Amino acid sequence: MDEGQLVFQAESAGHLLADRWLAVPPYQRPYAWEVGNVVEFWDDLEAALNEGRQHFLGAIVLSNSEQRHSVIDGQQRLATTSLLLAAIRDQFVELGENQLAEHIERTYLKSFDRKLGKTVPRLLVSPADAEYFEQQFIDRSGAEPLSPSQRRMTKAFEFLRIKIAEVAEAADPAAELNRWIDHLESGARVIMVATQSDADAFQIFETLNDRGLPLTIADLLKNYVMSRDPSRTQEVQRSWDEALDNLGTSIETNDFVTFIRHYWNSVAGATRERELYRSLRTFVQTGSEAAEFVASLVTASRHYSAMANPDSKYWTESSSTTVRSIETLDVLQLGQYKPLLLAGLEVLDGEALEKLARSLVGWAFRGIVYGGIGGGVAERAYASAGVALRSGQTKSIDQVFRQLRPIIPSDDDFREAFAVASMPRLRIAHYTMRSLERALRGEEHPALELYPRDPKAAQSEKILPRRFSENDWPEFTREDATRLVSRIGNLAVHPARPWTRLTPSAWPERREWLVDGDSRVNETLRDLATWSPVQLEARQSAFAELAVEIWPRTPESGSA
């Protein structure tokens, strides 16, 4: 094959394994198919066989090398086909058809390599699984699965063994099994795309797989950075694996893609997921740039993991106010601010970092209550602020605020929005009432959750219950209840004393239950003779005045 030449060839899965020595490169992910994928693989093959037609398994992308073809795309299908062939071989052994079993093994599973002077597998799967794959399925010498991918392989093989055993229940089992071999030799078709170099193979892989799916994006990113300089593959792979490990995973999950996007937003500005791969290619073009990028993921992944875990040792040297802010941001569970916080964790420390984290709590909560600002607008603003902070264009939190000012609701806008806001999400409702409670008690930084976490932290309680009797609550119509039941003004702090009645009572008894304790939020209910929409809205308006102080718009200084 001439340099740069591409070969497109219709092939069968069986011939592909029988005619070529194949190897999955070190940077490819391990075996990822769950049983559901294998069931679908089997069902499609079986349906095509029974209907006497061919079945297209997709494209297999290979690149040439001196020893083996590198499998750039198609590992899961080829590995599963090998497992199916191993299951057929084992069934022939059980039937006493040893010559047929030996033929399958030597043709598809392992052969003598004259250059190496020994018998080796025809397909070398991902290095993380290669030894187990060879021992357990090719050599049948027995091995214990030690990783999730190896356990997935085992489950796949067990399923295929059961299906092949069912095939062997035919009147002539050997003939039926041979029919399956013929199907893999001629009916299970692929388009084999062979290139002279990995770079060409990656381009083909990208074209075939650029569908905007999260896992595909992760594969594209990984394959791209690995392809920039083959001599640095191991270095880049180690950094990639370390980033995965920092985030508590071993495979490229959707959450891992989200992490990369949030990090990239703090480097290059707001980038939608489907644009992530193309954006990265414009910045990362050489081997050294690829290595630097993946090394930066290692650092960023430590920060990103800590952002979701206030208990992380990462925060050991941080102030209690910073940790409380991180705890609170985790409760709010928003993604838009994360590129800015990621940048802050890399360039700020001490009081500046504390000030940013605490300010983000106020800005994020104001955004939740006010709404109206499109998620994309907020994401772009936070990403731009992250880029400016990381690059040194902005050097203080006050400058960050000035950049974000257009998307942070003003005091008047926030007050008006809070006065009519509903809190249907329980997590946010609980947090809101705890913050109001801390403010009424005069605690410092009332918007910040306490740390360490209190497993008995106060929860919110609806004053007018969702299910109620109109006889017991004559001030409310059904329309009133639907409109007002989740409003902040209808929330109290759940008292420590349990509610023992099976059905909600009328207002006087419920009021006594709520105020029987030391809650300052609930104390606002004590002198109310009735509970009505008017009183609910007045109470919420009073809370709105307090909210402007609890969740300030402008950055504050000082530690708790």
Query: What pLDDT was estimated at residue 502?
Result: 45
C-alpha to C-alpha distances, 344 to 300, 328, 352, 400, 518, nearest whole angstrom = 11, 17, 9, 10, 39
Between CA 477 and CA 475 the distance in angstroms is 7
Average pLDDT, the chain: 88
Q: Which of 205, 36, 31 is nearest to 123 (CA)?
A: 31
> What number is the average pLDDT over the span 346-354?
94
Are 189 and 251 in the same domain? no
142: region left, alpha or beta (phi > 0 left; psi from -120 to 50 alpha): left
Residue 329: how many other CB atoms lie within 10 Å: 24
Are 37 and 131 in the same domain? yes
Answer yes or no: is pLDDT of 277 > 50: yes
pLDDT tens, position by position, 463-472:
999 888 888 8
Of 246, 273, 307, the one marking the end of a domain is 307
* 118-121 and 460-462 beta bridge pairing: unpaired
Total structural domains in the chain?
3
pLDDT interval class at 58 (50, 70, 90): confident
Least confident piece of the model among 7-11, 103-107, 189-193: 7-11
SS3 for 280-304, per residue? HHHHCCCHHHHHHHHHHHHHHHHHH
pLDDT tens, position by position, 206-224:
555 544 334 457 777 887 8
Q: Following DSSP, what letter does each residue of 116-183 receive, concatenated?
A: TTEEEESEE--HHHHHHHIIIIIS-------SHHHHHHHHHHHHHHHHHHHHTTSSSHHHHHHHHHHI
DSSP state of 331: H
pLDDT interval class at 112 (50, 70, 90): confident
Are 186 and 287 in the same domain? no
Of 256, 272, 307, the one marking the end of a domain is 307
Are 42 and 166 in the same domain? yes
Are 299 and 151 in the same domain? no
Question: Does 531 reside within a domain?
Answer: yes
Percent of the chain with pLDDT over 70: 92
pLDDT interval class at 275 (50, 70, 90): confident
Are 87 and 160 in the same domain? yes
pLDDT interval class at 177 (50, 70, 90): very high
In the chain the first and final C-alpha atoms are separated, in Å, by 69
Are 290 and 145 in the same domain? no
Answer yes or no: is pLDDT of 84 > 90: yes
Query: What pLDDT was estimated at residue 206?
Result: 58
Question: Does 158 reside within a domain?
Answer: yes
For residue 18 the two structure tokens come to 């029988």
Question: Does 349 reside within a domain?
Answer: no
Of 209, 235, 252, the one marking the end of a domain is 209
Question: Does 267 reside within a domain?
Answer: yes
Residue 394 CB partners (closer than 8 Å, separation 6+)? 385, 388, 400, 403
> What number is the average pLDDT over the span 477-486?
93
Question: Does 29 reside within a domain?
Answer: yes
Burial class (CB in 10 A: 0-12, 13-18, 19+), 84: buried
Domain that holds residue 251: 214-307
For residue 312 the two structure tokens come to 């992380």
Between CA 258 and CA 379 the distance in angstroms is 13
Answer yes or no: is pLDDT of 330 > 70: yes
Are 56 and 198 in the same domain? yes
Are 178 and 268 in the same domain? no
Are 173 and 258 in the same domain? no
Are 439 and 534 in the same domain? yes
On whether the CB atoms of residues 297 and 267 are closer than 8 A, the answer is no
Question: Does 442 reside within a domain?
Answer: yes
Query: What pLDDT was estimated at residue 560?
Result: 36
Q: At residue 405, what is the residue type?
A: R
Are 281 and 302 in the same domain? yes
Between CA 118 and CA 29 the distance in angstroms is 27
442: region left, alpha or beta (phi > 0 left; psi from -120 to 50 alpha): left
Q: Which of 4, 59, 26, 3 is nearest to 226 (CA)?
A: 26
Query: What pLDDT was estimated at residue 211?
Result: 40
Q: Following DSSP, what letter does each residue of 391-424 receive, concatenated?
A: HTS--SHHHHHHHHGGGSPPHHHHHHHHHT-B--
Question: Does 136 reside within a domain?
Answer: yes
Backbone angles phi, psi at 124, to 5 degrees: -95, 110
Question: Does 385 reside within a domain?
Answer: no
Taking each helix axis from N to C end, the angle separating 214-227 and 198-209, rounded to the nearest 10 degrees, works out to 170
pLDDT tens, position by position, 30-46:
888 999 899 999 999 99
On whether the CB atoms of residues 339 and 389 are closer than 8 A, the answer is no
Answer yes or no: is pLDDT of 201 > 70: no
For residue 533 the two structure tokens come to 């929409």
Strand partners, 422: 487
Answer yes or no: is pLDDT of 382 > 60: yes
* For the chain, counts of helices (H) and of strands (E): 24, 10
